[in-house]
Amino acid sequence: MTRLAVPKTYKLYIGGKFPRSESGRVYEITSRSGEFLANAALASRKDARDAVVAARSAGSGWAGSTAYNRGQVLYRIAELLEGRRAQFVDEIMHSEGVTASVAAEQVDAAIDRWVWYAGWADKYVQVAGNANPVSGPYFNLSVPEPTGVVAIVAPQGAGSLLGLVSVVAPALVSGNTVVVIANEAMPLSAISLSEVLATSDVPGGVVNILTGSPAEMAPWLASHADVNALDLTGAGALDWVDLQIAAADTLKRVIAPENGPDAASPSIDRIVALTETKTVWHTKALI
């Protein structure tokens, strides 16, 4: 007996759930050769706002967890990604038009990147923070803390999975929550990653993944007053100067495409770029 195929419905990932776009819109995902692969949700301004609300709601819990716990959660993502390696390889082959070996290299690099950043969760504070020399009967300590809700435009070129992981993972290390616009033309691995996140230990709302047009959604995220930082690593083809101006109007920290920390290689600079430094003063005990 011939079985019918069961077409998959690709949705957004907001607040730990998989809603359709509130607009009801979808767009076609095709291979490099033009072959139809799937329909994906075309996220709207309202979807972006819902994702920010979800990220804000999850912020205190995620930032309040211990650094060790966050590291373990990130490592768990790598474990689950490893378990679905074949699926990601297949999706990257079809959507990016690369060979199985090239796709496998990308998936392995993405797994390794999760592990690399997981290892920094309980260590980066010792590198980025410090005790400051002061003159007087007191001392002070500077400690990096999460910025808050980070809106990200993921890299839009080849390497769709690795590019996404390279911008999302470092934002999570310090306790930020994320709203990320996935690779518009090649979102399959981002959608599958959302399924990994949903079955991992990542609390709902910590990572929210939108598919669709960065040109449509990025301006609303840049000007959203409840977004604390904007990572424009994948916004090189957009008018990112206007996005930076909108971000400045609402006092956001910005990683710009032309001079931000390199996403191609793992770097502690990408962790620290999305933190705020808090300095605490304390008097010395007088004997």
Q: What is the mean pLDDT of residues 166-177?
A: 97
State the virtual CA torsion across 203, 57, 172, 157 in degrees, nearest 10: 100
pLDDT band, very low/low/confident/very high, at 286 (cuts 50, 70, 90): low
Let me know if residue 6 belongs to a domain: no
Q: Which two tokens stand for residue 126?
A: 């010792």
Can you give the CATH number for the domain in which 41 is found?
3.40.605.10
Q: Residue holding tokens 């449509």?
A: 216
- Residue 278 is predicted with a pLDDT of 81
- Domain of residue 108, residue span: 26-283
- Which residue from 140, 174, 160 is spatially nearest to 270, judged by alpha carbons? 174
Residue 224, Cβ density class (10 Å: 0-12 exposed, 13-18 middle, ≥19 buried): buried
**Can you give the C-alpha Rg of the chain in angstroms?**
20
Let me know if residue 4 belongs to a domain: no
- Residue 194 is predicted with a pLDDT of 97
pTM for the structure as a whole: 0.92
Let me know if residue 12 belongs to a domain: no
Q: Which two tokens stand for residue 71?
A: 């590291």
Distance, CA of 260 to CA of 83 (rounded, Å): 33
Let me know if residue 277 belongs to a domain: yes
Give the total number of structural domains in the chain.
Answer: 1
User: Higher-confidence residue: 111 or 260?
Assistant: 111
Distance, CA of 26 to CA of 21 (rounded, Å): 8
State the virtual CA torsion across 147, 41, 92, 157 in degrees, nearest 10: -60
Phi then psi dihedrals of residue 181, to 5 deg: -90, 115
Q: Which two tokens stand for residue 201?
A: 């230990």
Let me know if residue 194 belongs to a domain: yes
DSSP class of 176: -
- Residue 4 is predicted with a pLDDT of 81
Let me know if residue 163 belongs to a domain: yes
Q: What is the mean pLDDT of residues 206-226?
A: 97
Let me know if residue 11 belongs to a domain: no
Let me know if residue 54 belongs to a domain: yes
Examine the pLDDT at 265 and tell me if it is beyond 90. Answer: no
User: Higher-confidence residue: 143 or 109?
Assistant: 109
Distant-in-sequence, close-in-space partners of 119: CB < 8 Å, separation ≥ 6:
71
Q: Which two tokens stand for residue 56?
A: 């804000």
Q: What is the mean pLDDT of residues 147-163?
A: 95
Examine the pLDDT at 287 and tell me if it is beyond 60. Answer: no
- Residue 272 is predicted with a pLDDT of 95
